[in-house]
Amino acid sequence: MASLFDVIIAGGGAAGLSLACHLINSLLRDCSILIVDKDDDDQINRNWGFWTNQPTLFDATVSRAWRQLHVVGEGFERTFDLEDYQYKLIRGPDFYRYALDTLRARSNVTFARGVVEKVEDVAGARNEARVVVNGQEHLGRWVFDSIMRAGALKRQSSPYRFLKMHFKGWEIETNDDVFNPNAATLFDFRTPAGCPSEVRAMRFFYVMPFMSRRALVEYVLFSPDVLRQDHYERALREHIEMMRGIRDYQIVFEENGCVPITDYPFVRRTGRRIMAIGAKGGQLKPSTGYSFMRVQQDSAAIVQSLLKRGHPFDVSYGASLFRLGDSVLLDIMLRRGDEIKPIFTAMFAKNPIQRIFRFLDETASPLDALGMIASLPPWQFVYSLGRVGAQAARTWTAQPHRMLAMLM
């Protein structure tokens, strides 16, 4: 007979483990939880950077926090004091170790290793869903699915925009004091001469200094395709040596990865008792690639919905204004990614950093949002807004259910 759990979480990545931790830190702490994932630690080597003015469940895993942010744009350079905000960095190994140790200490949390073959409603059962793992069936009163499967995004003839955020980073040690450990560089849009001019992508460097002689230097691009490894390595080398004047350094760690970026309207409720979370649930911000705090806020909202409504689906789907802004920025990135630099430069040059954070976090007031929009150069926005609007109109005519999903 199949085992029955209060909650089954398909996928033991950041989204799945975060939700489980939020559950055991709430009034639902005693519910039975099954977490299913395959033996795969590919995600452990990634880092998460994020800004916040609120505590999180994972503050114990923060390896470094900064109260200043440095931005270098076109003819612009500034160091911002973050006031009540902090920019924080969590290393993947620290997050996974802390989350897994916390959950394994609970007798009501069970882990299963294997390939998730099916996540589906149970025919004739109103209060259960089924997860099949390596041929074995598990039943859950609620199932949360974070596993992105091949073919989940229907790109053919799609009106939505699809890019990749791809990156490579080197953590380096230097022989001299060359970094300001009090300020992290969020954007440095200076492009080394050796970067191929045909790569018309949004690209920038960010630098997370741990000490005056140690920092993570990362090269990030938004474009339809990834590049050869030697491109990232040449760009990193030229940025470190030519832009920053650092000659003597050693690479002590490196990371690289690729994340799909899209304004595709992900469906949250995928069954009577099934909900998509994490990237599968649209919790990766399309215009920036940030996800960690969105996942934490979504996990907290799911728990509150379960407590107050008796189901997990009463969560924010984001205001249509912000989703429209994401689509417009993605359209610009897709067509002329190299023209994003003046937009981001204007954003930081003409707005308080706290307003920028609220806007990107989708918590800005209408007045804040109007102030942000008015500060940005209009020419690219007007053209891309027309394209996005025309595509939306065609989608409404052909697939009204998709537009309703976007406007919910």
Tens of pLDDT, residue by residue over 25-44, are 999 999 999 999 986 554 56
User: Is the Cβ–Cβ distance between 99 and 111 less than 8 Å?
Assistant: no
C-alpha span between 299 and 279 (Å, rounded):
13
Q: In this structure, are 273 and 216 located in the same domain?
A: no
Number of domains, the chain: 3
Q: What is the mean pLDDT of residues 273-294?
A: 91
36 assigned to some structural domain: yes
Residue-level pLDDT at 403: 46
User: Do the strands 136-145 and 86-91 form a parallel or antiparallel pair, or are they unpaired?
Assistant: unpaired
User: Does the pLDDT at position 407 exceed 50?
Assistant: no
User: Does the pLDDT at position 86 exceed 80?
Assistant: yes
User: Does the pLDDT at position 393 exceed 60?
Assistant: no
Which three-class secondary structure state does DSSP give residue 35?
strand
175 assigned to some structural domain: yes
Beta bridge partners of 62: 90
Residue-level pLDDT at 406: 42
Residue-level pLDDT at 272: 94
The CATH number of residue 36's host domain is: 3.50.50.60
- Shortest CA distance to 121 belongs to which of 130, 113, 132? 130
315 assigned to some structural domain: no
Please classify residue 210 by burial: count the beta carbons closer than 10 Å to its beta carbon, then call 0-12 exposed, 13-18 middle and 19+ buried: middle
What is the extent of the structural domain holding 324? Answer: 320-407
Residue-level pLDDT at 196: 55
Could you tell me the CA-to-CA distances from 80 to 177, 253, 349 in Å, in that order? 22, 28, 10
User: Does the pLDDT at position 391 exceed 50?
Assistant: yes
Residue-level pLDDT at 317: 73
User: Which residues of 38-178 form beta strands (DSSP E)?
Assistant: 47-52, 62-66, 68-73, 76-81, 86-91, 109-113, 116-121, 129-133, 136-145, 162-174
Mean pLDDT for all residues in the chain: 87
Q: In this structure, are 403 and 330 located in the same domain?
A: yes
Q: What is the mean pLDDT of residues 208-233?
A: 93
Q: In this structure, are 24 and 37 located in the same domain?
A: yes
Tens of pLDDT, residue by residue over 124-176, are 877 899 999 999 999 999 999 999 876 666 655 577 888 999 999 999 999 99
C-alpha span between 304 and 26 (Å, rounded):
9
67 assigned to some structural domain: no
Q: What is the mean pLDDT of residues 288-309?
A: 95
C-alpha span between 221 and 225 (Å, rounded):
10
Beta bridge partners of 119: 131
Picking from 246, 261, 276, the residue at the C-terminal end of a domain is: 261
Tokens 């728990």, residue located: 303
Largest CA distance in the chain: 69
Residue-level pLDDT at 408: 42
119 assigned to some structural domain: yes
C-alpha span between 210 and 184 (Å, rounded):
9
78 assigned to some structural domain: no
Tens of pLDDT, residue by residue over 240-275, are 999 899 999 999 999 988 988 898 888 999 999 999
339 assigned to some structural domain: yes
- String of b and e for 74-92 (b: at least 16 CB within 10 Å)? eebeeebebeebbbbbbbb
Least confident of 205-209, 258-262, 366-370, 395-399: 395-399
